[in-house]
Amino acid sequence: MFEKALGLPLHVLVVHAVVVFVPLLVLLALAYVALPRFRARLDWAVAALAVVAPITAWVSVQSGEALQERQIARGFSGEILDKINEHAEYGDVLFWITLGLAVAVVLLLVATGRHDRLPKLPNWAAPVLSVLVLGLGVAALVYVWLTGHSGAEMVWGNTFE
């Protein structure tokens, strides 16, 4: 299911969605935290990204595992397999950070929301969640870079030197 799309490895296609949606989630979530007067305009976009970003990260991990299994079956071993494993570890961590960020963002939306149907959270919840969103956002950006860089190094190596 996660192997190919349009004749290409699905992983090659879906990683670009992760590179767009995870940083966009971080950017809009931080804007939501830092610019309270714009929260009413940002809340739906932030909520949508809190759903989309972890899904793209999960699909990327699943498709990466399928590609990794295919490469092992083709005889990849040694240094290149070590690089693939390092890249996969970064991707796994990125998924969990993105999922945690998404949960924190949704809870922050609930804590700061003015809708009557939303549950009321304690007053301390919004500042704590804001700090959590900031920390997880920075971690997500770091792991997007680490994961993407390790993958690009594997594929492109010293091509542009």
Write the DSSP symbol of residue 113: -
Per-residue pLDDT at 94 exceeds 80: yes
Residue 69's pLDDT is what? 87
Residue of higher predicted confidence among 132 and 153: 132
Residue 60's pLDDT is what? 96
Residue 31's pLDDT is what? 97
Q: What is the pTM of this model?
A: 0.90
- H or E segment to which residue 4 belongs: strand 4-5
Q: How confident is the model at residue 39 (pLDDT cuts 50, 70, 90)?
A: very high
Residue 75's pLDDT is what? 86
Residues 143, 99: Cα–Cα separation, whole Å: 13
Q: Look over the chain and give the mean of its residue pLDDT values, rounded to a whole number.
A: 91
Residue of higher predicted confidence among 6 and 106: 106
Residues 54, 14: Cα–Cα separation, whole Å: 12
In sequence order, what are the beta bridge partners of 8?
5
Residues 52, 94: Cα–Cα separation, whole Å: 14
- By the 8 A CB rule, do 105 and 133 touch? yes
In sequence order, what are the beta bridge partners of 5?
8
